[in-house]
Structure 1
């Protein structure tokens, strides 16, 4: 079984929590895109963990974790993340963590360029996390990057780096007037952090193909959500990679394989980190209450998330482009304080009602159309069966199913590993 767990909206839907839960049924968990620009928060009996780069299956000792060729890896950040988990008692060895030799290295000058460009843009900024993701993906397609496998060949590494640095300094100095980077400093950085990671670097495509041939269950883990995809998201306020389920086998290393199932993750309400159109956004006191109830602050950056009611228009679009076979609804318990719950069921564009997600700049003028349903106004965090749910909570779930056109199989009612119920 090859399954992808993917975000339906703007990211931060709770994918890490669901990967941690469902990974008990899988032999391998593979991250297939992105870098340390987003975080997956997992709460289990070992504690609370925020994972930026490591697959969420790393918290299950029996699961093999793969960092695929579609990822961009900040070596220093990865080493620090590994250290924090090891200190907490998590086992990390070359047997349960495998890093693709084809994954791209996110260098310090990528972070520097990201910061310089966001500062240059000022009020027109894209809302970057300033962790080098845009510049490193740009360099990847310009073929001006180092890959993790290059760390295994020190005799050619410095020569490759020198050629890239000469080119990169033309931008850093010429475009931004900033201090240039030096080959010696970067080689020290690569050796210091890359040296420790060498035992984990391998041909993950070969490993995954072998696992698939043996009939092992593989779970593909995405970062962010459909509306942040470089092609199908709210461009240019997107990530710089392909976050959709269709890319999972490619970004993990087995492009010849096909998915058996795509599980979409969406919140019971809407959240968004960063810039760009967010039609259903709440403001003022209602937004503050929802943000505090849900603890809506970015796992990677700590930035307050923009919040709003459930957006059926955006979610239906996300379900379609992710090819979701079923859904997991997270943070339903957060809405328990509300006597009435608003839902965005449509957009008004130039006076015309639409229920389809618009393209580009049309989103900037779209206005939300809200409908209100009865809330349950009681604690549901202890519910473990459908029969435990208040009628209003059950009706809310079934309404969201109808609005997005996809069955909801899992419902999360708390951050703990077992705080969920299955609808069927």
Structure 2
């Protein structure tokens, strides 16, 4: 019952040792989980904490909003720290929504009064609710990108991101449905209960649901 920053990342890291699959179900790169394995300190903003452990699968669910540039930077940082990241241990939901540059601009311009991080999270969820957003599975499609963004200005940059991320993107619910019956699955959230969109200290909240009730919708599981 707090606002976040209470050590979730360390707890998830501890629990992930016994999990086969670790799933992120909400938020975006406004979250930051600081982990320590051995003497190595790693801060993750999008990728689930379990990616640091061998033999684990990390899933970014449909309830997460993704800045592709930030995600690729995070993958690059992990690889520089000798953490292997591949489609074998990182899966991204094709239905997760994309944070586009205009969303970041809007957030920086209008979000300061309620303490947003200015990273486009809120506007991305607004676009999702308004049915004008772009999903990860559509990121490579020029017409879908233009229809939702309104032009070619950012397309070349985002098409390059799409090409690099394409191997990681898939329909995650069937994978999880099958896994739930035979593997240990751990759910990793962002923020805290009092930042929940519906149950927090509204309007000083985040733009997603943070409580455990958000797990089914954020991952597409029962």
Superposition TM-score, scaled by structure 1 size = 0.51
Kindly indicate whether residue 119 of structure 2 is the aligned counterpart of residue 131 of structure 1. yes
- Contact 2:138–2:145, Cα closer than 8 Å, also in 1: no
1:11-410 → structure 2 map (5 Å cutoff): 11-45=4-38, 47-118=40-111, 125-151=113-139, 154=140, 157-166=141-150, 183-213=151-181, 215-254=182-221, 256=222
Higher strand share: 1
Cα RMSD for the two superposed structures = 1.2
Distance 2:216 2:117 in 1: 26
Deviations 1:129-157 (A, max 9, x none): 00001111011000011101113xx4xx2
Structure 1 position 31, deviation (Å): 0.1
Structure 1 position 253, deviation (Å): 2.3
Deviations 1:175-195 (A, max 9, x none): xxxxxxxx2232112112121
Deviations 1:27-62 (A, max 9, x none): 100000000012000011150001000001111111
Unaligned runs of 5+ in 1: 1-7, 120-124, 167-182, 257-424
- Contact 1:102–1:147, Cα closer than 8 Å, also in 2: yes
- Contact 2:146–2:152, Cα closer than 8 Å, also in 1: no
Deviations 1:337-386 (A, max 9, x none): xxxxxxxxxxxxxxxxxxxxxxxxxxxxxxxxxxxxxxxxxxxxxxxxxx
Distance 2:47 2:32 in 1: 10
- Contact 2:194–2:200, Cα closer than 8 Å, also in 1: yes
Structure 1 position 118, deviation (Å): 3.2
- Contact 1:24–1:60, Cα closer than 8 Å, also in 2: yes
Structure 1 position 164, deviation (Å): 2.2
**Hey, which bits of structure 1, 4+ residues long, moved more than 4 A?**
none
- Contact 1:66–1:252, Cα closer than 8 Å, also in 2: no
- Cα gap change, 1:107/1:46 in structure 2, threshold over 3 Å: closer, same or farther? farther
- Cα gap change, 1:147/1:46 in structure 2, threshold over 3 Å: closer, same or farther? farther
| Residue equivalent to 1:337 | none
Deviations 1:68-91 (A, max 9, x none): 000000000000011011000001
Distance 2:48 2:37 in 1: 15
- Contact 1:220–1:252, Cα closer than 8 Å, also in 2: no
How many residues of Structure 1 are paired with residues of Structure 2 in the alignment?
222
- Contact 2:25–2:61, Cα closer than 8 Å, also in 1: yes
Distance 2:153 2:80 in 1: 29
Q: Which has the larger radius of gyration?
A: 1
| Residue equivalent to 1:350 | none
Deviations 1:198-250 (A, max 9, x none): 0000111111111113x211000000000000000011110000111011122
Distance 1:212 1:252 in 2: 12
